[in-house]
Amino acid sequence: MNDALMKEYEKTFMEKVAVIHAAFDEKPHTVAFVMVDKNLSDLEKCEEAFMKTNTIEDAWWVNDGVEYVGSEPTCRSTSTDDFVLVGNTKYKCSRIGWEKV
């Protein structure tokens, strides 16, 4: 698919959410922007962002739909006590599910 069609597809069907690492760091910082389906609920968007920013078989920062913006060449996976920002709403990753902050 050419770049113009891909951009139009993303604008129509996708939404960019921010992944913010805070769990093991002195100061929270954005590490990635992740493209998720616009039609998902906020909690489903958080789950997709979590999945895409966890290393399973390959380093997560090379996953499709992930724009890595961390300050280091590598980065840990998203974890409990990290955040996902969906629009203007921030969600904290808890031990089970997500909490609106």
> What's the alpha-carbon Rg for the chain, to the nearest Å?
13
Quick count: other Cβ atoms within 10 Å of Cβ 49? 29
pLDDT tens sequence for the chain (101 residues): 577 766 766 767 899 999 999 999 889 999 999 999 999 999 999 999 999 999 988 999 999 999 999 989 999 999 999 999 999 999 999 999 999 99
Q: Count of alpha carbons within 13 Å of 85, Cβ hemisphere only?
A: 13
- Rounded CA-CA distance 97/42 in Å is 12
- pTM confidence score: 0.89
Domain-by-domain residue ranges, the chain? 15-100
